[in-house]
Amino acid sequence: MTANWAAFTEAEPDLARTAEERFGAFTHHVLATLRKDGSPRTTGLEVRFLNSELWLGMMPDSLKALDLRRDPRFALQANPGEGQSMGGGDVRIAGRAIEVEDPEQKAAYGEEVEPPEPFHLFRTELTEVVRTFVEDDKYLVVQIWQPGMPLRTIKRT
């Protein structure tokens, strides 16, 4: 089961807001895709939250774009920033990336973001959003959201 960003935001508005803030704090994040042989590939990536969707834009024929065309599964981790503070916690998103080839949708994205032309554009379908943070300097808190499931919170000392 998957859900787009709008469905996630409706289900868990506080976690969605925190995730957007974490991704908005830095420009570059880490995307994991699967190579032809099934091994993982990690690369840097900019993400955008526009029109209630999470978008992944990429240079033409980049290896990560070719990976996603072959196998749409991805994992995305917000840049933790400098030091060890990770304000807002560590946020990770997993799902499927669906390539957008409709010229009107790509043009609307291009007007908003102004990426170098040409470019690949992927819309995301989420399978999981995870936030990990420290509470009161003594608990490790893990929040896990999956489509169709209530938010799970795990606390460890």
C-alpha gyration radius of the chain: 16
DSSP states of 32-95 as a string?
A: EEE-TTS-EEEEEE-EEEETTEEEEEE-TT-HHHHHHHH--EEEEE----STT--TT-EEEEEE
> What are the C-alpha distances in Å from 96 to residues 14, 41, 80, 116?
23, 15, 23, 24
What number is the average pLDDT over the span 26-41?
96
Reported as a single tens digit per residue, the pLDDT across 140-156 is 999 999 999 999 999 99
pTM, rounded to two decimals: 0.92
Reported as a single tens digit per residue, the pLDDT across 98-129 is 999 999 999 888 888 888 788 999 999 999 99
